[in-house]
Each structure stands twice: as structure tokens, then as C-alpha cells.
Structure 1
């Protein structure tokens, strides 16, 4: 029964890179490219206090949808490891361990979990052809998780009201737009994939 369910889920899924079946070299290249994409998305920044608005959530959810839950999470964790050792891969070209303990720490911790969540939904058909609303929903779920987890972390530092005012509320509309953009990117990838 579980094998039949897995087969059915696999036939409806859309994880175009299918990294789980690739060689270690291909996986390593995909992780490196994904971490570069995340770094580039971090440098697209709208300054806000205490947390800047970037394209990170777009990149995290898109990587989850395109890479699958395992490789998506590994890619985001690799990017976080690069940040931890001081590479300039975070918002504004920042890096270092201090960012994991500051106001952005909760968002950073949430990123690999959100990538895994979106990847898991993608592997169960949420991003398959004809499921446009579920595709958007998958991206929104990933983005909402990041905002909720990051907001809770921030609330522990500056209080619930200020965390909502500065770390959650202003990012909701942007999160919706980024979810739609991530969905459009998955759809574009599907069309390119189908044409090859």
C-alpha cells in the first residue's frame, strides 16, 4: 500500500532536477549553484528595521520546489554554513556567527526547514502541472513558516508587538508576491523541462 502511494505521489510530483538520482558530483554542483543563488538573492535588499527585506524567501522556497526536500535543505544548510564561517552571503553581504544570535537568527534557522517543507510538498504533487493554486499554497506555506518562526524569535528579543510591527507585518505582502514569483519560476522551469 505504501509503495503504491509512493509511486502515485512520484508520478504527480514535479522536482525537475531529480537530484536524488544523480551522481555525487552533480549533487555537489547543484548545492554550490543553489548556495550562490541564495547569496545573490540575499544581496537584493530593501533596508528595513530590524530585519531587511530580501529575496531570500523566494530563493529558499524555489530551491525546495526544484531540488526536493533533502537536497533543498542540504543546499540551504550549506549556504548557512558559508555564512557562519564569515562568507558575505547574507543580507547586505554580511556573514559571521553573530547573525545567528541576533534579530535575524530565527529567520535563518527557519530557512532550511522551509526549503524541506516546500520540497516535501513538491514531491507529493503540489507543484505538478494543473495544480497552480496548490503550487502557490506550497510557496505561501514555506514563506509563512519563515515569518512565523522568525517572528517568534524576534518577539523573544523585542516583544510581541514590536516583532509584529517590524518583523512580520511589513513582510506579508512581499511574501505573497514572492510566493507568486516562485510559482511562476516553477512553471517556467516546467515548460523549459518539457521542451527539452
Structure 2
């Protein structure tokens, strides 16, 4: 292997290129990511026992744009805000009791979603390869539904968990995954145009 290939910089997986930015930039990204997640939490379709929100879209997008480490940290910070009583969860909900109720499995799945999309984005499943980005987002949504339903099943049973905690969210998962992939593609295209 030549010295040139050893020192050639690897192209950034995200137009934000946060891993190569200063600590100040990364802290600001965590704060702005938390704000994005909060805004997405307020976009809600009330359903029982689990509401449909844009949270999973924002969680997967944060992971894909921030990378697995910073994406996971951002989602954990946002969940800590919700647990501490700040109104950042679905519809402005807050408090520790949400981490033991019907939505707990979904909440605990969110950092895993961000880590998964971030890890895959770092390996090329990002805005440069929109089909792979879509599959990445879809896998993350599927994982969230599986983990959320597994917890919900302990409360209302397996059949009811699938009926109320998975089936109503399948179409939304596909649409939010497509929107996430399109967003990554648009951001990447914008970054490429700026560089040209």
C-alpha cells in the first residue's frame, strides 16, 4: 500500500462532518439534535396505547447525520431531558413514569436506532447511496417496533402488542424511512453543490 493511500482522507459520511469538528461544534450538535427530537415529538397523531409521532424519523436522521457515537449520545441526552421532567417527549410528555409504561420499549429503542443508522451511515449507507440509506432507516424502524412491541407485550400480551404497537405503525415506518433517505440525499446534494 502506498503512502498516498494511507494518508488520503476518507470522505465524510455526513455533510455535517461532525467527527472532524471541534468539541464545541459537537456539543452544539447535541443541543440542536435534542431540539430537533423535541420538535418531532410534538408532531403527533394520538393513538392508544402508543401515539404516532415523527420521533423515529428524527432519531434515525440524527444517527445518520451525527454518526453512531454522537447520534447515540444526542438521543440519550434528549431522553435524560424527558426523564428529568422537561416536556420533550411525545406531545410534550415528561417524567420517569414514561420509562416504565407502554411506551418504554420504544423509548429505550431510540438510542439503538440512532446507533444503528449512524453505524451504517459511516459505512456508506448514507446520502450518497440513497437506496442503502432507505434500508438503513427501515431496519432502524423495524428494530424500534420489535423492541417496543416486546415491552408492550409484557403489559397487554403479544397479540394485542402487535395489533396496537406494530401494525398501525408499519406504513408510517416506510414513509418516514423514505423521507429520511430523501433528506439525507438532499443534504448531501446541497453539500456537493457548495463544494463545486
Bin of the TM-score, shorter chain as denominator length: over 0.9
What residue number does 1:28 align with?
A: 27
Q: Secondary structure at the match of 2:166?
A: helix
Q: Give the CA RMSD over aligned residues.
A: 1.9
* 8 A contact 1:65–1:118 mirrored in 2: yes
Number of paired residues?
Answer: 190
Q: Secondary structure at the match of 1:86?
A: coil
Bigger CA radius of gyration: 2
Written as runs of structure 1 = structure 2, the 5 A alignment for 1:171-186 is 171-186=169-184
Distance 1:174 1:128, change over 3 A: closer
Q: Which runs of 4+ in 1 moved over 3 A?
A: none
* 8 A contact 2:127–2:184 mirrored in 1: no
What residue number does 1:192 align with?
A: 190
Distance 1:7 1:97, change over 3 A: farther
Work out which structure has the larger RCO, using CA pairs closer than 8 Å and 6 or more positions apart in sequence: 1
1:23-63 deviations in Å (ceiling 9; x for gaps): 11111110000000000000000000100000000001111
What residue number does 2:166 align with?
A: 168
Alpha-carbon shift at residue 128 of structure 1 (Å): 4.6
Corresponding position: 1:66 with 2:54? no
1:40-96 deviations in Å (ceiling 9; x for gaps): 000000000100000000001111111110010010001001001000000110110
Alpha-carbon shift at residue 7 of structure 1 (Å): 9.1
* 8 A contact 1:50–1:167 mirrored in 2: yes
Query: Counterparts of 1:71 and 1:195 in 2: how far apart (Å)?
Result: 26
Superposition TM-score, scaled by structure 1 size: 0.92
Distance 1:7 1:149, change over 3 A: farther
1:131-190 deviations in Å (ceiling 9; x for gaps): 222111000011111000001000011100110011111000000000000001001100
Query: Counterparts of 2:48 and 2:154 in 1: how far apart (Å)?
Result: 16
* 8 A contact 2:41–2:92 mirrored in 1: yes
